[in-house]
Amino acid sequence: MRLENKVALITGASSGIGREAALLFAREGACVIVADVDDKGGQETAEMIQRQKGRTAYVRADVSQAADCERMVALAEEQFGKLNVLFNNAGIMHAQDDDAISTEEKVWDITMNINAKGVFFGCKYGIPALRRAGGGSIVNTASFVAFLGAATPQIAYTASKGAVLALTRELAVVHARENIRLNALCPGPLRTELLMKFLDTEQKRHRRLVHIPIGRFGEAVEIAQAALFLASDESSFVTGTEFLVDGGIAAAYVTPE
């Protein structure tokens, strides 16, 4: 198994990418800490792991709050003795996120607090734990829109994911000699509840779908499989990267310098 004897902490694990990753990591041998603000969904994920004979614990954690992030890391060490993998996956896409003119300050602040500051807090408290374990892997969920912008305006979300890319690159360099790897996982458009709520009309969905060379939305499990690679020792020489899993969007629209 690819994560045998590893302990993994996954934020935003009540649904979507986080849930699929939690289930997959557990099947691959990891003890999994499920972290979320959605108690019902988070506990359901933990119960699903238990039904497949995995080891898990659920912790309520608002990643925009430093104390919650410190507590979730402490729980991983208390419950399972160490932390080897941190998947900073929690994020939001606010329904009122729009262009710079229309987006309210409160929408900007909520989005940045969860999507960007939440990753910072995860790293702030997770990196010392990985040091104590002798190293490990941090996977931060960014997005293809950090490279390209979005066809449907979502300025706060796009900016927050750009921040995740920059943070990941810097920390990867800073901690490389400590056997701590950091990579940004950059999904393309997925058929998840988060995106489908945002793309709430056929016109909006078509505007996004027409840009995907593969011709379909991705599935959360496909991103979880990419996260597994980055979390595992199979990617031991991979750090500081932006791992695009986007159905070919970046290849089609990014012009080489």
For the chain, domains (ranges, CATH) are: 7-253 (3.40.50.720)
pLDDT for the residue 204: 74
With bands split at pLDDT 50, 70 and 90, how would you rate the model's confidence at 254?
low
> What Cα–Cα distance (Å) separates residue 142 from each residue in 33, 44, 121, 161, 229?
21, 25, 15, 5, 16
CB 230 within 8 A of CB 139: yes
Q: Tell me, what's the pLDDT at 201?
A: 80
What's the burial of 60, exposed, middle or buried (CB within 10 Å: 0-12/13-18/19+)? Answer: middle
157 annotated active-site: yes
Summarize pLDDT for 150-189 with one digit per residue, the tens.
878 899 999 999 999 999 999 999 999 999 999 999 999 8
d(CA 206, CA 72): 39
Average pLDDT rounded to a whole number, residues 223-248 = 97
Catalytic entry in 58, 125, 157, 253: 157
- Between CA 244 and CA 144 the distance in angstroms is 7
d(CA 92, CA 200): 15
Between 52 and 196, residue with greater pLDDT: 52
Q: Which two tokens stand for residue 64?
A: 């925009």
- Report pLDDT digits (tens) over 45-65: 999 999 999 999 999 999 999
| pLDDT for residue 186 | 97
Q: What is the pLDDT of residues 20-47, one digit of tens each?
A: 999 999 999 999 999 999 999 999 999 9
Q: Is the model's pLDDT at 257 over the cut of 70?
A: no
pLDDT exceeds cutoff 90 at 211: no
Hey, what are 148's tokens? 């390209």
pLDDT band at 6 (very low <50, low <70, confident <90, very high): very high
**What b/e sequence results for 180-192 when a residue is b if at least 16 CB atoms lie within 10 Å of its CB, and e otherwise?**
bbbbbbbbbbbeb
| Whole-number average pLDDT of the chain | 94
Gap between the Cα atoms of 92 and 95, Å rounded? 9
Number of other CB atoms surrounding residue 25 within 10 Å: 31
Asked which of 53-62, 139-148, 203-212 is least confident by mean pLDDT, the reply is: 203-212
